[in-house]
Structure 1
Amino acid sequence: MSEFTVGETDFLLDGRPVRLLSGALHYFRVHEAQWGHRLAMLRAMGLNCVETYVPWNLHEPHPGDFRDVEALGRFLDAAREAGLWAIVRPGPYICAEWENGGLPHWLRGPARTSDERYLAQVERWFRRLLPQVVARQIDRGGPVLMVQVENEYGSYGSDTGYLLRLAELLRAEGVTVPLFTSDGPEDHMLTGGSLPGVLATVNFGSGARTAFETLRRYRPDGPLMCMEFWCGWFEHWGGEPVVRDAGDAAAALREILECGASVNLYMAHGGTNFAG
């Protein structure tokens, strides 16, 4: 059993500073038979962690019709077997370039708000999902280091009460590892999307020093982390392929590391939208 905590300047594993070098790999975009190979490739890249979202609408396409929620647990087990830690971003909204940001089409009440009808459905979903995460936290011998509250909420709204309810729900369902938020490095995004007492991280594709300076205006203490380093970009159906120069991406990553920050490559491996 180990303890992962957020220190004043660093992440701490059993009290010792550790830098997270993570890569995003969505278990739902990679065939399960290939998980082991893809995770081994992350290890071969020099990474020590993997990050994944969880798409609610994939696992509950109709109310009460839960489908293979245990896939997340199996993926986290595979990550541990590959020698990787894990970061889980359960939403309920995930964006992720995924249909409706992972929100089921059948939801009642305005989504991503403090509406009690919506929150009751989130609570029911989390009660079904989170045991897969809770049992695999690092303080229980598993790989999970951190869990995200919502996703880039500052780009959408500023209902701190909503974020607080989600954080309380995660804790009530047994999440004991550190919580975090992630937002773009802009004033309105950081004010709208962060929570007091919860680690704030930033997402960007370049300009690390400027981004972290913006974050430090709101969070003078705590470890720095780019939760989404956009080493590439998504493509639109029928559009031109988007290819980033490797040297440019490497220079941007080097700047992140020179800031002493942790990083999550978004994406380390893209996978496929099956039947999409």
Structure 2
Amino acid sequence: MKTRLVWLAALCFSLSAFGQQAKHSFKLGDNSFLLDEKPFQIISGELHYPRVPKEAWRARMKMAKAMGLNTIGTYVFWNLHEPQKGKFDFAGNNNIAEFVKIAQQEGLWVILRPSPYVCAEWEFGGYPYWLQTQKGLVVRSTEKQYLAEYKKYILEVGKQLAPLQINHGGNIIMVQVENEYGSYAADKNYLDINRKLFIEAGFDGLLYTCDPAADVKDGHLNGLLPAVNGIDNPAKIKQLVNENHNGKGPYFIAEWYPAWFDWWGTPHHTVPAAHYTKKLDSVLAAGISINMYMFHGGTTRDFMNGANYKDISPYEPQTSSYDYDAPLNEAGNVTEKFKAFRSVIEKYLPAGQSLPPIPAAKPSIAVAPFKLSSKVALFNVLPQPVKNINPLTFEALGQDYGYVLYRTTIKGGKKGELQLKQLRDYALVFINQKRAGILDRRLNQNTLTLTLPAGDVQLDIFVENMGRVNFGKYLLENKKGITEQVTFAGAEVKNWLMYGFPFSNDRLTAKTTAKANGNGPTLQKGSFEISTVADTYLDMSDWGKGVVWINGHNLGKYWAIGPQQTLYVPQEWLKKGKNEVTVLELIKPDQNMLKAIDESILNTLKKLNVD
């Protein structure tokens, strides 16, 4: 009966309060959250605004309502909003305030997670790359430079979002301080500085922390609600919260995982809904609030994928698809997991009430094979180089993402071992513009045996940033490129020219009419025509490794090793008639045929022959 009353309060709110934008209260009771002094159970799903085209935000939120959610959660991503020091961007797909307002219009509360560190399988855990250019700056610490930059950022976020809190007439009901900090350290002073900065930025509503069960004690700050991640045993949740919150609730699972994310070279992660429905049922029956991570994953585009790295495991860069085997798939369509979870949630509706009907699945189309009509080799369109005795990192070059070509001349006529000390992360090695080998950090590769022809030899090393580490102590060791030195036959190689290819868009800064030659990276362009606009999936399984743009929109990375073989193309970025395609291909320069299919391929691994 108690749970029915909670849902009735939520339903009444949805029907009347949102349109009026009246001020409401949201507080902690001893056992329940209190919305306008009445018990309220949060049933939330995580949905990240940059992983969904802005034009589709509302559709995804309607799906959230149809599954029975009353709240959505989202991180705020520092590296999107301050991509370069002092230059803030809250426009277009970065318009987080608009995202929150649309949620309010759709009758959804919002849980905001704006801490500078987000993890989220996101590049550098959300930190902007340029923090690493400030000597001595240490992220997630009380170091003065870091706190100064953090403060500037959070004040800007506060300008955008603090007015949208529930106590100011908006729909943001809670704001998270830091993110799983107990998994990283246990400095309560640092946590309190976070809390104070949030308050200074205008976040004067309900603040909370979240940590995995084992780390709650280290990551919790007295006076804030300790939310728990990764467990769904009601008794254990209540015990953990009570132990860290003066014997009181309410009880909130801040991250409940219906599946997991993917990284290159490993199988797609899936878990049947049946493994979770009983657990969801028990949590809701116990009156515990929950946030599903993820409700809808979407796609990680624009070089924003992160990576994991631990002492006991290799470097693991994450795929562009963030499908997550979530209730709503990468394209925003309903899965069996969605239906199963909806059925559980429906059990707790008041008698006579029902959920909105599930919106119809979006159609998808195939595109017949077409040939890319133009091709240029990157070696023929080099921008102005930076010269230095030693190789410089991306950060030292002032480059955020993408690729850097390192070029020098060495004496030939001998055989030896080329070693790249601390390569980050993937290198194509060329001798006189002919590919001699590939080095892959995932495989702990950093040496290559070369037999050089006589005379002066041009050595090119084309290096890709495959994503900065987003979790753990290696956040502090995240510079990209050739980060230390290069040796050949035991002698250090010096006198480098470095050419930056950040590919912030699909255009090159240098122009030439030279044709493609050799087997180096190429940029190819073409087009296709459609009479019906609908979702589609570029099938990249015949290609090697690279990036694709459609009508100027970065779709993300592809890599034939899998498990992801397709790139999702949202209908919102297509148009009737001609659509422009650009492909950056690193290792198969002769490939030029492209096609699209009407469904995704996310679980196909294969060995890539690049010899």
**Normalised by the shorter chain, which TM-score bucket?**
over 0.9
Q: Report the Cα distance in structure 2 between the residues aligned to 1:104 and 1:121, rounded to whole angstroms.
A: 11
Task: Report what 2:126 is aligned to.
Answer: 102
Q: Does 1:240 align with 2:267?
A: yes
The answer to whether the 8 A contact 2:26-2:206 is kept is yes
TM-score (norm 1): 0.96
Task: Report what 2:100 is aligned to.
Answer: 76
Deviation per CA, 1:126-163: give whole Å up to 9, x if none.
11111221111111211100100010000000111111
The answer to whether the 8 A contact 1:209-1:259 is kept is no
Describe how 1:3-152 pairs up with structure 2 within 5 A. Answer: 3-68=25-90, 71-107=95-131, 108=134, 109-152=137-180
Q: Give the AA of the match of 1:170.
A: F
Greater relative contact order structure (CA < 8 Å, 6+ sep): 1
Q: Does 1:258 align with 2:281?
A: no
Deviation per CA, 1:222-272: give whole Å up to 9, x if none.
200000000111111221011111011112212222332000011000011
Task: Report what 1:158 is aligned to.
Answer: 186
Structure showing greater Rg: 2
Identity over aligned pairs, percent: 39
Q: Report the Cα distance in structure 1 between the residues aligned to 2:301 and 2:204, rounded to whole angstroms.
A: 33
Report how many aligned residue pairs link the two structures. Answer: 274
Deviation per CA, 1:51-86: give whole Å up to 9, x if none.
000110111111012122661100001100110000
Q: Report the Cα distance in structure 1 between the residues aligned to 2:194 and 2:277, rounded to whole angstroms.
A: 36
Q: Does 1:271 align with 2:298?
A: yes
Q: Report the Cα distance in structure 2 between the residues aligned to 1:111 and 1:249, rounded to whole angstroms.
A: 36
Cα distance, 1:12 vs structure 2: 0.6
The answer to whether the 8 A contact 1:2-1:139 is kept is yes
Q: Report the Cα distance in structure 2 between the residues aligned to 1:213 and 1:77, rounded to whole angstroms.
A: 36
Q: Report the Cα distance in structure 2 between the residues aligned to 1:255 and 1:194, rounded to whole angstroms.
A: 25
Q: Give the AA of the match of 2:43.
A: L
The answer to whether the 8 A contact 1:56-1:103 is kept is yes
Choose between structure 1 and 2: higher helix proportion.
1
Which residue of 201, 213, 225 corresponds with 2:239? 213
Structure 1 residues 173 and 275, CA gap change in structure 2 (3 angstroms): closer
Q: Report the Cα distance in structure 2 between the residues aligned to 1:210 and 1:162, rounded to whole angstroms.
A: 28
Q: Report the Cα distance in structure 2 between the residues aligned to 1:11 and 1:207, rounded to whole angstroms.
A: 19
Per the alignment, in what secondary structure is the counterpart of residue 130 of structure 1?
helix
Describe how 1:220-235 pairs up with structure 2 within 5 A. Answer: 220-235=247-262
Choose between structure 1 and 2: higher strand proportion.
2
The answer to whether the 8 A contact 2:237-2:251 is kept is no
TM-score (norm 2): 0.44
Cα distance, 1:206 vs structure 2: 4.4
Per the alignment, in what secondary structure is the counterpart of residue 39 of structure 2?
strand
The answer to whether the 8 A contact 1:54-1:89 is kept is yes
The answer to whether the 8 A contact 1:56-1:92 is kept is yes
The answer to whether the 8 A contact 1:209-1:256 is kept is no
Cα distance, 1:39 vs structure 2: 0.3
Per the alignment, in what secondary structure is the counterpart of residue 106 of structure 1?
helix
The answer to whether the 8 A contact 1:209-1:255 is kept is no
Unaligned runs of 5+ in 2: 1-22, 304-611
Per the alignment, in what secondary structure is the counterpart of residue 12 of structure 1?
strand
Q: Report the Cα distance in structure 1 between the residues aligned to 2:197 and 2:265, rounded to whole angstroms.
A: 41
CA RMSD for the aligned pairs? 1.3
The answer to whether the 8 A contact 1:39-1:79 is kept is yes
Q: Give the AA of the match of 1:11.
A: F
Deviation per CA, 1:152-175: give whole Å up to 9, x if none.
000000111111011011111211
Deviates more, 1:168-177 or 1:74-83: 168-177
Q: Give the AA of the match of 1:210.
A: K
Unaligned runs of 5+ in 1: none
Cα distance, 1:208 vs structure 2: 4.3
Cα distance, 1:21 vs structure 2: 0.5
Per the alignment, in what secondary structure is the counterpart of residue 171 of structure 1?
helix
The answer to whether the 8 A contact 1:205-1:231 is kept is no
Per the alignment, in what secondary structure is the counterpart of residue 202 of structure 1?
strand
Q: Report the Cα distance in structure 1 between the residues aligned to 2:52 and 2:39, rounded to whole angstroms.
A: 32
Q: Give the AA of the match of 1:218.
A: N
Q: Which runs of 4+ in 1 moved over 2 A?
A: 205-219
